[in-house]
Amino acid sequence: MIKINLGQTKIQQMESLDSRNISVSSSGGSNELVATVLKVALLLVSVGVLYFFEQQNLDQLNAQMNQLLAQKSEIQMQVNQAKSELEQMGASQSDSKVLEDKLKLLRELSRKRLREIKSLDYIQSVIPTRLWLLSLKVNSENYIFSGRSMDQSDLSLFVRKLESGGVFSDVVLVKDAPTEVKGFSLRDFEILARSEVIN
């Protein structure tokens, strides 16, 4: 009988140890479950915090982007306005250039006309009474006189006065030929000269 009681005690001890192991293992499994749930909850909270933070920053960044877009459109308007002003300035500069060229041409024509008037006035004052001009051609600063004179002395006097007056230079008698007109003996002449009148 002693053997049996001892055997039962050992069996009871074994059963109590098994029940402790089961309770320990079941409590260890619940601890792991709680840890997993806590980890998932922590991840969800982290995602929520990141989403909230992102939404806050997104609103701020959207506001900055809208402000920058408004500044960009304003700058683009200013650039377009500056371009149109530059085009207008370019058009007015080309108009100004055309007007300046016209004024320059008018000044040049006026200067030439004044020079020619002075030259003609001098010619009229020195022409001998027995000498006639039939044509006077002006090419730039060169003059070509064509005409008739009663004799060679009148022609020589006219050439000397043209040379000595300071109005013409390089006076050259190109043609001096006798001719007869209505029974009168005359001389045809042609003189080349360069104007020295400076405006």
pLDDT of residue 27 exceeding 70, the answer is no
21-25, 147-151, 162-166, 193-197: least confidently modelled range: 21-25
Half-sphere exposure of 146 (CA within 13 A, CB side): 5
Does residue 108 surpass a pLDDT of 70? Answer: yes
Classified by CATH at the fold level, domain 107-195 comes out as Gyrase A; domain 2 (3.30.1360)
Mean pLDDT within 88-101: 81
0.85 exceeded by pTM: no
- pLDDT of 1 reads 46
Per-residue pLDDT, averaged over 111-127, amounts to 82
Q: How far is CA 179 from CA 130, 146, 158, 159, 174, in A?
A: 15, 14, 19, 19, 16
- Of the candidate ranges 70-84, 94-108, 164-178, the one whose mean pLDDT is the lowest: 94-108
